[in-house]
Amino acid sequence: MDRRNQILDTATYLFTQFGYEQISIQDINRACGIARGTFYLYFNNKDDLLNQILSRTLTEVLNEIVNQMDPLVAMPDLDREIAFIAEAAFSYFKEKTELLKLVARSREFNIPVLENDELLRFFTARYAPYLRFRGLADSEIESYITIKLLSIYNLVAFVVIKHPEKTEQYLKLLKMAPIS
């Protein structure tokens, strides 16, 4: 494992176990067995480290979802796939509640689909034909997809953190009435 990933993994563990505010850069350095200056070779400060953890986490979730999608579907229906995307996100965070809390409570919210051109191109290319058919202009498609992904994120965060026992109920209802 390279040093940057070691720091990311260690900080993720420490933040989820003890809380972001309670952990210092010195704590992270000590847990990694690195000198103070080594941390700053990879990160500007603790907030930068947190943002990179959040970006990595959300990118992993989205990549996992993308890998499960059927690439041969001619014109996938975004409204029908919303439930699938939400279910995959629920599944990913089911055993990572503390990580989701860290993501949900972060002061700066970054969603990788907005920062990662490859992911944004994937979702846009996948759903553009369907959304055009539904009457959206090309200039509206990226914003529409962003709204859907943010809605899923908020739903997953709310259910996993506040009502994990109701996950199946929310998924059932989502399949009946997609987020609009």
> pLDDT digit string (tens) for 11-42?
999 999 998 889 999 999 999 999 989 999 99
pLDDT score of 164 more than 80: yes
Residue-wise burial string across 151-161, b where 16 or more C-beta atoms lie within 10 A, e elsewhere:
ebbebbbebbb
Let me know if 74 is exposed, middle or buried by CB neighbors in 10 A (0-12, 13-18, 19+). exposed
Q: Are residues 74 and 123 in the same domain?
A: yes
Tell me the pLDDT band of 179, cut-offs 50, 70 and 90.
low
Same domain flag for 58 and 146? yes
- Residues 135 and 50 both lie in one domain: yes
- Give yes or no: residues 19 and 56 share one domain: no
Asked whether residue 69 falls in the same domain as residue 130, the answer is yes
Check residue 153 and give its pLDDT. Answer: 80
DSSP per-residue letters across 77-98? -HHHHHHHHHHHHHHHHTT-HH
Co-location of 33 and 53 in the same domain: no
Range of the domain at 19: 1-43
Tokens linked to 161: 């953190």
Tokens at residue 74, please? 């001619």
Are both 142 and 53 inside the same structural domain?
Answer: yes
CA distance to 12, 52, 65, 153, per residue, from 142 (Å) = 31, 23, 18, 16
